[in-house]
Amino acid sequence: MAPQPPRRSDRPGEAVAVLYPVTYTVTVGDGRCTEALVEAGAYGYAHSAVLSENFPARHAGGPRVRELVLLRFAGEVTAPEVLAEAAWRGLQAPTYEDALYFGIAHPEAQREGPIVFMHEPWVGYFGRRDVLCLWDNAGRRELGLDGFDDTWREGCRFAFVTPAAGGG
């Protein structure tokens, strides 16, 4: 599902953001554990820390539909810039479950460029705050962790939940 021509943010003095007007639908909360979700994603590589001990799949409320959109920025950005743009647009932060279900439902989307899920960061083994990311490496789909507090390079896309289907 390729993005249509993007719409640019008109916020003066802020990082220029591009909203892809494509909505990706995922159904979360089906009862599978994290390991089963990672396996269902059929990744060529999945980070060894993405398991139930660190990212327990939460199923409160049972199966529910979530709609996600992607933001991309012109140039490098930081987490505060990304989160401010999402808030300005009325978007909600995703959960790590959104990343897991997104990888299953839309496996080709990550081939177009990295997709970062700005969920509540997980504090990794060495104290770095990490979030789940989907990307393509040499033709292989991957599920990894990237530093929440790092500077994100141009070309990264950031997944957020639309308010209409934000239920959580």
Domain positions in the chain are 7-165
Whole-angstrom distance, CA of residue 69 vs CA of residue 106: 12
* Predicted model pTM: 0.88
Name which of 64, 139, 145, 149 is nearest 98 in CA terms: 64
**pLDDT tens track for 6-42:** 444 555 555 677 777 688 999 999 999 999 999 999 9
> What is d(CA 34, CA 65) in angstroms, rounded to the nearest whole number?
18
Bigger pLDDT: 61 vs 98: 98
Take residue 81 and report the two structure tokens written for it: 């810039």
3-state secondary structure of 133: strand
**Separation between Cα atoms, residue 55 and residue 106, nearest integer Å:** 20
